Structure 1
Amino acid sequence: MRFIKNGYGLSISLIAFAILCLFPVITQAAPFKVLVVMSYDNSFFWNKDIKDGIDSILGDKCELSYVYLDTWRSKDNLEKGHAKAKETYELYQKLQPDGVIASDDNAQSMFVVPYLKDKVKTPIIFCGVNEDIQTYGYPTPNITGVIEVAHFRESIAFVQQLVPSIKTVGFMMLDRSTGQGFLQQFNKEKDSYPAKSAGFRLVQTLKDATAVIDDFKLRCDALLIDNMEGLPDENGNPLKEKDAIKLLTERFGKPTFCSNTKDVEYGVLCSVVKLGKEQGILGAEMLLKAMQGTPVSQIPVTRNKTGKRMLNVTVLKAMGINPKPEMLIHTEIVRTE
């Protein structure tokens, strides 16, 4: 009887061993390694929003390494960005990531194009790009991504709903890569806007900006003021976005609109804003597809589509504007910070 029991046990063991050989033990795959290169600093609201979007998709699937080129706050930062881009390439070589996300234009011109494009096969996804992507030679067999588009037309229509007498609008941004890219968008679209355009001006200093505002104040009913972080004051010191927006909106003294959430909170009247988180989500979803095996050439370039209506009621009341209640439906209400 002892022999039979042992034989039975031995048979069971052999069967179990055979099954294990036929079906290898399933182990959890190592997470993807992803290098994310941000054009600006880690405190900039746009970068924070894009990071939130990326983290929401890749946070539990990947080892994420973030690098901030910090190229926005001043011209000195912009010049130092090239050195940081070189350091980022050294990090890329060390990490050997499974994928790269490069956010906004400076990350393309300073990092992807000189160090990675046509040199590596790693899937690369861009997002937040304002310039014509052909400027960078995109797309390529391993580079695709998300174009950033401002909702200018929708924002003009919104400010006209609040103030129907608005017939002419102007545009002003800081003379950086973002403003230059939006100028390209403006030139393509301006004839389709619901108000006549008085022009799009890029400014380099606070003195330039005040002169442009004084000119537009005579010729425009409303003005877009946006992307003013780092605008040099009369002493050459870079202004924070909040301070620049406050100075410029007060000097204009008429309705203003923009394209970013924070500028409405800082004192712009209203906007149909674009969302940095959307850029991050779209870019992360595209990279995940590529890392999971979809050829990058089969992942088409896309653009942001979602807009959010925002209204600053502090400014609204100060201007004596009394909108119809139905205009506030699906609108986020904020007060000046």
Structure 2
Amino acid sequence: MKKTYGVWIFLLGIFLFLMAGLPTHAEGEQGRVLFISSYSYGWDTVQLQIEGFVEGLAPGIETDYEFMDTKRLDVEAAEQLLYDRLKYTLTVVEPYDVVVVGDDAALKFAMDYREELFGGIPIVFEGINNVAYARELAERDPLVTGVVEELSLEKNIELALLLKPDIKKIIAILDDSLTGQAERENFYSAQEQFPDLVFGEVNVSECSTTHLRSRLWQQGEDTVLFFIVMTEDESGNSYTNREAVETLVKYTKVPVIRMVDSRIEEGLLGGYVVSMKESGLLAGQMTTRIIGGVPPADIPVAESPNMYYINEEEMRTYGLDTGKLPKDTVLINHRVTFFEKYENVILPMAVFGVAMVVILGIVVYDNLHRRKLLSELEGARTILESASQHDFLTGIHNRSKFMEDLTQAIEKEIPCTVLMLDIDDFKNINDVYGHAAGDEALKQVAERMKAMQSQILTPYRYAGDEFIMILLSGQGKLIEKTAYGCRQVFANAFTIQGAKRKVTGSIGVATYPKDATTVEQLIMCADEAMYQVKKSGKNKFAYYGQEPEDT
């Protein structure tokens, strides 16, 4: 009997030892999290935050999401709507183990209703611009920790000066949102460190849509723009991040620095950015540790996850030297060089090439060889020059060539007309049928425009779904004939993914010197005329300053 009792004691000890090695709660057992975002899920930085957050969570942790949508709603209204939802929801769902708040408005809401809604629940913040407030909360409340978001103006201004030593102005794109107000104070506080620079802003909330475009276009070569926040202009036109970037790319002629890693690849320069995905990842890892039993007070506030993130294509556009960038810079839209593509074979080929050059130099290096080499080099130069002036997708001239040709015509005081064409509802084509279908539509528009080309009429791809034509004439009848010809581009159905589909376009017309006397003014007049067509129902054309003409 005593022996049997001893065996049971031995087996119980082994069982307890094995149980001690089993995964903890944080490594896979159930936990519940409420994630409150200050914005909507459609805001692309929110998607990056959530993508990183989910990646940082351990398997088995369940997450519910709430979105305040403060980019479109008044902050007080957004808070009240969320309060009303949570006041009821929290009475019928299982308790949450952690509340995660994304950006400043959500943190403010959580702390305002801390006792009433979230008493005793750990709070993890991320994406917080008001760094001092966030750190003070974490020090005061042992259940609060998280990740701050520091947009380093100093490092970005230093980067701008490194790449463009001749700049004189730093202009911020801001609005009067909660984020905009916080960042405006941070922006001007950096002025003391750069007394030789002029600091200013384009306050989107105080600009009509037309005035905003004009302000952007007027920025000179001695200026660098800092895109901080742009949600709604004075005309009531709301901007998603995608729409804000499209506006900046279209209406600016100077580099645009952005300090978060969202949509930089679409035409912004980038800069020393906050990684929104990394911020979400850190918050997810903190949440996992808290659910696993680690007290929030033992998890220090994480520093802002920043890195140098640069669009190489924009560096080339503005003639900036990538050799000046910090060594740890992440380059996007990188054009693979010949050396990078063939680096594994370039050394033996180089040795072979040297040997062949020596042999050929002794045997066949003569005048005929030199003339042939020069001819080939000239051919290569011609090919490269042509490629730099043509759009890769459609094959017609690009925006750079358009600006060169229009500038030359106006400098020679040649009467000319700009016709700007924009595909109506092009976003729907991409959304419904995919980007490949959108590319098909763009190429077919270009083919139809090429059919109109003559000695005095040249088509170009201007930007995205916009095309433009230069007519070297100011004669009214010829302009009218050309405008109707542009309408015919959209007369017949397009073949998209093997099916016939109706595609329409809006056309704006402006003439030099009748409507404008400079390149910039002429383009803006044509764009304004096209904008009027969009407002009046699309699928028409309009002369600048006149009502759109029906089909």
* TM bracket, shorter-chain basis: 0.7 to 0.9
**What is aligned with 2:426?**
none
For residues 154-183 of structure 1, the C-alpha deviation after alignment (integer angstroms, 9 at most, x for no partner) is 222333333221132121222212222222
1:227 to 226, 229, 232: 229
Match for residue 300 of structure 2? Answer: 300
SS in 2 for 1:302: coil
Shift of 1:266: 3.2
Distance 1:294 1:180, change over 3 A: same
| Structure 2 partner of 1:67 | 66
1:218 deviates by: 6.2
- Summarize deviations over 1:222-250 as a string: whole Å, max 9, x none: 1112322x32474x232332233332344
Equivalent residue number for residue 210 of structure 1 = 212
Structure 2 partner of 1:120 = 119
- Report the AA paired with residue 160 of structure 1: L
Determine the C-alpha separation between the residues in 2 that align with 1:226 and 1:214: 14
Q: Distance in 1 between matches of 2:223 and 2:94?
A: 53
Q: Distance in 1 between the 2:98 and 2:167 partners?
A: 47
SS at match of 2:208: helix
Amino acid at match of 1:223: L
Aligned to 1:82: 80
- 1:205–1:231 CA contact under 8 A, matched in 2: no
Q: Does 1:153 align with 2:151?
A: no
Compute the TM-score of the two structures, normalised by the length of structure 1: 0.79
The answer (yes or no) to whether the contact 2:170–2:223 under 8 Å persists in 1 is yes
| SS of the residue 2:151 aligns to | coil
**What is the CA–CA distance in structure 1 between the aligned matches of 2:262 and 2:56, rounded to whole Å?**
24
Flag the 1:215–1:144 CA change in 2: closer, same or farther, 3 A: same
Q: Distance in 1 between matches of 2:321 and 2:13?
A: 73
Q: Is contact 1:42-1:68 (8 Å) kept?
A: yes
C-alpha separation in 2, matches of 1:23 and 1:214? 71
Give 1:51 deviation, angstroms: 1.4
The alignment partner of 1:246 has SS state of helix
The alpha carbon displacement at 1:308 in A equals 2.9
> How far apart are 1:282 and its partner, in Å?
2.4
Q: Distance in 2 between matches of 1:97 and 1:135?
A: 22
Q: Distance between the aligned counterparts of 1:179 and 1:240, measured in 2?
A: 15
**SS of 1:303's equivalent?**
coil
* AA at the equivalent of 1:297: A
After TM superposition, the score normalised by the length of structure 2 is 0.51
Deviation at 1:216, TM superposition (A): 7.7
**Distance in 2 of aligned mates of 1:187 and 1:233:** 23
1:52-107 per-position Cα deviation (integer Å, ceiling 9, x unaligned)? 222122141522222222222x2368734531243135434423111111110111
User: For residues 214 and 312 of structure 1, do their structure 2 counterparts lie closer, same or farther at Cα, with a shift above 3 Å needed?
Assistant: same
Partner of 1:192: 193
User: Hey, what does 1:323 align to over in structure 2?
Assistant: 321
**Quick check: 1:284 aligned with 2:275?**
no
Give, in whole Å, the separation in 2 of the partners of 1:58 and 1:82: 29
Give the equivalent residue in structure 2 for 1:3: none
Distance 1:242 1:191 in 2: 33
Instruction: Measure the CA separation in 2 of the matches of 1:12 and 1:48.
Output: 61
**Greater RCO between the two (CA within 8 Å, min separation 6)?**
1
Paired amino acid for 2:321: P
1:254 aligned counterpart, secondary structure: coil
Distance 1:212 1:124, change over 3 A: farther
Instruction: Report matched runs for 1:91-110 at 5 Å.
Output: 91-93=89-91, 94-110=93-109
Q: CA, structure 1 residues 14+328, in 2 after alignment: closer, same or farther (shift >3 Å)?
A: closer
Q: Which amino acid aligns with 1:102?
A: V
Query: Which residue does 1:169 correspond to in 2?
Result: 170
Question: 2:243 maps to which residue?
Answer: 243
1:179 aligns with 2:180: yes
From the superposition, tell whether residues 324 and 211 of structure 1 become closer, same or farther in structure 2 (CA, over 3 Å).
closer
Q: Structure 2 stretches of 5 or more lacking a match?
A: 335-462, 465-551
195 and 303 in structure 1: CA distance in 2 versus 1, 3 angstrom threshold: farther
- Structure 1: gaps spanning 5 or more residues: 1-6
Match of 2:7 in 1: 15
Letter in 2 for 1:301: V
Size of the aligned set, in residue pairs, is: 323
CA offsets 1:302-331 (integer angstroms, 9 cap, x no match): 331421321251x44444x14254548633
**Structure possessing the higher radius of gyration over alpha carbons:** 2
Q: Distance in 1 between matches of 2:213 and 2:250?
A: 14
Amino acid at match of 2:285: E
Q: Secondary structure at the match of 1:309?
A: strand
Shift of 1:333: 2.3
Pairwise CA RMSD of aligned residues?
3.7
Show the counterpart of 1:4.
none
Q: 2-side partners of 1:82 and 1:132: how far apart?
A: 25
Report the Cα distance in structure 2 between the residues aligned to 1:197 and 1:91, rounded to whole angstroms: 51
Cα distance in 2 for residues equivalent to 1:132 and 1:326: 30
